[in-house]
Structure 1
Amino acid sequence: MIEDGVDRMKTSAGDMPIIVVGGGAFLVPHKLAGVSEVVHVEHASNRSAG
């Protein structure tokens, strides 16, 4: 499902990197078809209070 979404959002046919953030980011695998690199941002799901 993620690969299909990435393919629909691309502006060119080549592989591209993606950055995943938020609470569900851990569900995204490190390898995806059509993606050159999956970047999991450390602490991206944490929100600072205040």
Structure 2
Amino acid sequence: THGLRISQVWFTLAVPLGFLLVVFRLIQSIKRDFQDLLLKREVFKGNKLFD
């Protein structure tokens, strides 16, 4: 953009890049869950955010 003096490419790629990162993390979680199920381990439920 002209006002911020930042290339328009960064704004154009921000949403697809963020989406790809989310999909990448989702695939990692699904892979971990399937491995846990195959090895008869308890599936990871996440850590507690607040006490």
TM-score by length of 2: 0.24
Q: Greater relative contact order: 1 or 2 (C-alpha under 8 angstroms, separation 6 or more)?
A: 1
More strand by share: 1
> Which has the larger Rg?
2
TM-score under structure 1 length normalisation: 0.24
